[in-house]
Structure 1
Amino acid sequence: MQFFMYILLGFLLVCAISVSLSKNLLNSILVYMSYSLVMSIIWILLESPDLAITEAAVGAGVTSVLFFVTLKKIHAIMKAEEKEGEKKDE
């Protein structure tokens, strides 16, 4: 079980670094969601189910939905798709 915990902690560290270094906002949100889900698994392994449920609901659920809505409102998702479309046309 200790080995599994070390794997999760390593994945948590990779997620934290990749979110801070990512330039694509959509990818950052997806990595943040995976960070929250891994953190909720770690809370379960630490025998704290109330924190795990809260982390999964708020971290991966509500916060990510709010980030997606914000990106849609500022048209950041459309701009990224348009840039990819322009690159394919060339």
Structure 2
Amino acid sequence: MNAALIAVALVLVAVAGTAVALTGDPGRQAITLSVYGLLLTLLFLVLQAPDVALSQLAVGTALVPLMVMLTVRKIGRRPR
């Protein structure tokens, strides 16, 4: 059961990573990056690494996508 759960989590992380890489729009990429971070958090929990999962939850799921979205918004407002 544990090996199957790890395999499912790895497949989900691989699919989400591919989706992030194939997304062209930076705004949408930030959203898919957030989902990818959440799936990585779940993978780390399945692998019994709660400290790494908590760090991933804070940084990969919240902070990095937020910084990307703020940067995209700031660049979009720049006069030409």
- Scaled to the shorter chain, the TM-score interval is 0.7 to 0.9
CA distance in structure 1 between the aligned counterparts of 2:3 and 2:27, rounded to whole angstroms: 33
The runs of 5 or more residues in structure 2 that have no matched partner are: none
Aligned residues: 76
- Which residue is 1:21 aligned to? 22
CA distance in structure 2 between the aligned counterparts of 1:73 and 1:11, rounded to whole angstroms: 32
1:38-49 → structure 2 map (5 Å cutoff): 38-49=39-50
1:54-73 → structure 2 map (5 Å cutoff): 54-73=55-74
C-alpha RMSD of the superposition: 1.5
Length-normalised TM-score, structure 1: 0.76
The runs of 5 or more residues in structure 1 that have no matched partner are: 77-90
Kindly name which structure, 1 or 2, has the bigger radius of gyration based on alpha carbons. 1
Q: Percent identity?
A: 21
Deviation >4 Å, runs of 4+: none
1:15-45 deviations in Å (ceiling 9; x for gaps)? 1112111112122111111111111111111
